[in-house]
Amino acid sequence: MAVRDRGLLRVLAHGPFLGLGAIIILLGGLLLHQASRTAEQSALALAGRSAARAALALKGDMLTIEARLRDARQSARASAGITLGPLPAEIRSAAPAASAGQFAMVRDGDDVLAFLVPAGPGAPTAWMNLPASAIEDFLVPLPGTALRLFSLGGEPVATRPEPEGIPGGATASLWVLEGSLGVEGIAQPGGIPAWVWFVPALAIGALVMAFRERMAGAHRSRHKLGALRASLARHAAQLSVNEARMRLSQSARVAVERRDAALIEAWPCPAALIDLSERLCAWNESFAASLPEGLLRRDLQLGMLLRHLDTRTGPRRRGPQHPRVRIIPLADGSRLIEGVEETAQAASPDLARGLCRDELETRAPLLRDAVLAGRLDAAREIAHAMRGLASNFALLELTKALETLERAGEEGVKAALAEVEAAMPAALQRLAVSQRA
């Protein structure tokens, strides 16, 4: 028995088991902490519901009382239950500090005094006495909670149940009248459930079972050690054979790569080779010169390379910095990227001048109508478009006149229009002469 105990101690002292035990203790503590927080949050939610229900019950009557006090003070006429005059001396000393005219309540024995804060000590104001029991009837706490009605400065007005019966714990406050009267719900958090304590105990029991299994595994491992050594020897022999085969295949691969590199380097035009895994494996100098410096590298993915190439067969849609290529599939599954010579297609200058003349003649009446109608934004847009056409064909006078019209305000836009109309015939004549020439 003593030998088995020493074996158990050796297992317990093993690093992984100590770490596992520490983790179980930590997780148990976290579980207990989370259960405690859950109980507190439940108590806070219960206190909030109790306070919200009491606030809704009180709000209507408190608003009515405040409105009656303000009407009495404004009309300077006392009504049933409302007194106009200075507050009683004992209430005046206990009244909280607040701005003049703010609604407040103070407990006075079995009564509650509701009043508007006077402008100064001894100043007249409107006030009335209310039975404390009538206000406490609105404070109906939920089971397991207590309610406290408080006024300015947190002064208590009414409580349910009595103060000595209020449990400590989570509290939630809500305003019945913003800044003047509030209600506070109080709830005692419940205890931690029994299953929360059971989980760490179950984990510790599982750890003990793991310790015992570890001891049995140590005995079994000694018996298997001889068989494992023989197996390791067989695996070592197999690894030697595999290493020799890998060296042969690597040599063949290097030879193929050298052959492909020599073939691509001798290609008459820009070219690159993509292997079966769709990665760049060889290219020549002319292909590298057509792309940004530092872009090409071995094993570059085909998708990354195609971002810098133009593979379309129709008219060029990408910029001149993207060389045009074609992709040719090879018999072994690899692909050859070969450069394609560009054929420039220049547009007819006469056709461009004719189109510019037609556009200017079409937009000129629209510009005049927009200026005369006072639509300056539309006139500026038309002038901007015409100025772009004129500047493309070096019609400097017309360009300058259109720029002046773009920047002109309501007072100078008509004068700018006259400059544009004066420069228009010469510009059209210049386009017509250039077209005939």
What is the signed CA dihedral for 405, 406, 410, 413, rounded to 10 degrees? 10
CA dist 307 and 318 (Å) reads 10
> 396 Cβ partners below 8 Å, 6+ apart?
none
DSSP code for 170: E
Going by DSSP bridges, is the β-strand pair 145-150/181-187 parallel, antiparallel, or unpaired? antiparallel
Look at residue 369 in the predicted model and tell me its pLDDT.
Answer: 92
Look at residue 263 in the predicted model and tell me its pLDDT.
Answer: 72
CA dist 428 and 196 (Å) reads 93
Sheet holding 111-116, edge to edge: 83-85, 125-131, 111-116, 103-108
- Contact 105/181 with Cβ under 8 angstroms? yes
3-state DSSP assignment of residue 342: coil
Burial profile 146-177: b = 16 or more Cβ within 10 angstroms, e = fewer = bbbbbbbeeeebbbbeeeeebeebbbbbbebb
Residue 409 structure tokens:
């305000």
pTM: 0.39
Rounded to whole angstroms, what are the CA distances from 54 to 47, 48, 129, 148, 154? Answer: 11, 10, 21, 10, 17
pLDDT in tens, the chain (437 residues): 444 555 555 555 555 666 776 787 777 777 777 777 787 788 788 878 888 888 888 888 888 888 888 888 888 777 777 888 887 776 665 555 667 777 888 887 778 878 888 877 778 888 788 887 777 777 788 887 888 887 776 778 778 775 454 555 778 877 877 767 888 888 877 666 666 666 677 777 776 777 677 777 777 777 788 788 778 877 787 787 677 667 656 666 666 667 677 777 777 888 888 888 888 888 888 888 888 888 888 888 888 888 888 877 655 555 566 788 888 887 667 788 888 765 444 445 666 688 788 888 888 899 999 999 989 898 899 988 888 888 878 888 999 999 999 988 888 889 989 999 998 898 888 887 655 55
3-state DSSP assignment of residue 282: strand
**Domain 349-436 is in which class?**
mainly alpha
Rounded to whole angstroms, what are the CA distances from 100 to 50, 69, 151, 302? Answer: 32, 13, 15, 79
Look at residue 344 in the predicted model and tell me its pLDDT.
Answer: 42
3-state DSSP assignment of residue 273: strand
Look at residue 436 in the predicted model and tell me its pLDDT.
Answer: 54
Q: Where are the domains of the chain?
A: 2-187, 271-339, 349-436
Q: Which residue from 39, 37, 34 is spatially nearest to 200, judged by alpha carbons?
A: 34
